[in-house]
Amino acid sequence: MKPLLVNDLDEFLERFDNFKACEFKHLEIISPVEFNISLSVQDKARGFDWISIQFLLTGITSANLLDNSKLSFIDMADGIELSHNGINFAFSILNSTFFIECESIKYQEGAF
């Protein structure tokens, strides 16, 4: 997995069009401070082919989650927001109450 650096956030989001209209596949709670999220998204760098992105969020400080059975009902039309406040990262789904605040984010690209 590659670390997602603060300086790369804008470029990363642009590559995947802010994850607009992506599919939320899975949320796995590994421990109270470590979550794994899987999304399917179109990749601008690969001619808009669909790929999967797996995020590993560690050092969770705050979160508002949904049960896995409800994830497919989230409207992903507006995409996600990834930000950094100088201390922590924030992963949030726009137009939803779903968010996670954490110390670090790593990601891995995979096949659709």
| Contact between residue 27 and residue 18 where contact means Cβ atoms under 8 Å apart | no
The whole-number pLDDT of residue 111 equals: 85
Mark the ranges of the chain whose per-residue pLDDT is less than 70.
Answer: none
pLDDT tens for residues 21-45? Answer: 999 999 999 999 999 999 999 999 8
Q: For residues 76 and 21, is the Cβ–Cβ distance under 8 A?
A: yes
Predicted confidence at residue 70, as pLDDT, reads 84
Beta strands in 1-112 (DSSP E): 2-3, 23-31, 34-43, 49-58, 62-64, 80-84, 89-93, 99-102, 104-111
DSSP class of residue 91 equals E
Can you give the pTM of this predicted structure?
0.92
Distance CA 101, CA 60 (A): 6
Report phi then psi at 75, rounded to 5: -80, 110
